[in-house]
A and B are shown apart, each in its own frame.
Chain A
Amino acid sequence: MVPISYYLVLSAILFGMGVLGFLVKRNVITLFMSIELMLNAVNLAFVAFATQWNALSGHVFVFFVMVVAAAEAAVGLAIIIAVYRTRQTLNPDRVDLLKL
């Protein structure tokens, strides 16, 4: 028997790592992966709470989070491709001008 709090602690650690990756990484694609890591941590917390309160709607919310993550990944990666075409770089520090 594993207490639910262990799952919540793991979720907090994963979320912190996602935030850290978003702060320190210098590649737009890796920043996106850090966001996905944060979304996964939140999903784990949702599922853990669903188990604790015996409420299946937590699973449905995880489903919605996944759908939004998929839409976000599709649009975000398209934006990355468009930015790379005009700037030839993936470093967010070099994408700091509104106009070329």
Chain B
Amino acid sequence: MLHPILFFVFATLCVAAAVNLLAQKHPINSALSLIVVMVSLSVLYLLLGAEFVAAVQVIVYAGAIMVLFIFVIMLLNAGEEEHTHGSRVALLLGLPAVSLFAGLMVWVLGRRPGGAHLGEFLGPTKEIAHLLFRDFLLPFEVTSVLILIAIMGAVVLARREP
């Protein structure tokens, strides 16, 4: 009985924060809304039995990536966004197209005969570690190289030209 209540509370919170992300003019408010989205998504991951993913979501996304975002917003002193002719056209054309797309997806996915139930499947971190370091060892090493290249690229790109 607790599962549907928690799901609906946090799904509503998630969608409301996403709407707030779109509605806010100042980027810092959008960033804070995105943190709310990520934390409520991590609660949903816990409901799905993905404890490792929930922890990584809070630590990496809400912790590291959003700190980077807020740091850049503060560094660049980003103000309110200005609207141009192009953005009004994008709103006029994009809103119907995206709502059509989302409605179609909801229609197709909502008709799926409900598969698994919740609370039955827990992915222990130990098994994820076995998968990650045995079956997915090569992709894991490749992503570590990717992170290394990203660090070097960020340093080179953000460096002030002498």
Q: Which residues of A contact B (CB under 8 A)?
A: 1-10, 12-21, 23-27, 29-30, 32-34, 36-37, 40, 43-44, 47-48, 50-54, 56-57, 59-60, 62-64, 66-75, 77-82, 84-85, 90-91, 93
> Is B110 at the interface (CB under 8 A from chain A)?
yes
A67 to B57, CA, bound (A): 11
Choose among A5, A51, A57, A82 the residue that contacts B118 (Cβ–Cβ < 8 A): A51
**Contact A93-B61, Cβ < 8 Å, known A24-B94, A29-B69:** no
Does B157 contact A75, Cβ atoms closer than 8 Å? yes
Does A57 contact B7, Cβ atoms closer than 8 Å? no
Choose among A52, A71, A85 the residue that contacts B116 (Cβ–Cβ < 8 A): A52
Q: Which of B7, B90, B112, B116 has the most chain A CB atoms closer than 10 A to its own CB?
A: B116
Does B147 contact A24, Cβ atoms closer than 8 Å? no
Query: What are the residues of chain B within 8 A of A78 when measuring CB–CB?
Result: 153-155, 157-158
Contact with A along B65-92 (1 / 0, CB 8 A): 1001100110110100111101100110
19 new A-B contacts, CB < 8 A, other than A16-B99, A20-B98, are: A1-B119, A3-B114, A3-B117, A4-B114, A5-B112, A5-B115, A8-B112, A23-B94, A26-B87, A29-B78, A30-B21, A47-B48, A57-B136, A64-B139, A67-B147, A74-B68, A74-B154, A91-B82, A93-B86
Query: What are the residues of chain A within 8 A of B135 when measuring CB–CB?
Result: 57
Does A26 contact B82, Cβ atoms closer than 8 Å? yes
* Number of B residues, CB within 8 Å of A: 86
Does B11 contact A16, Cβ atoms closer than 8 Å? no
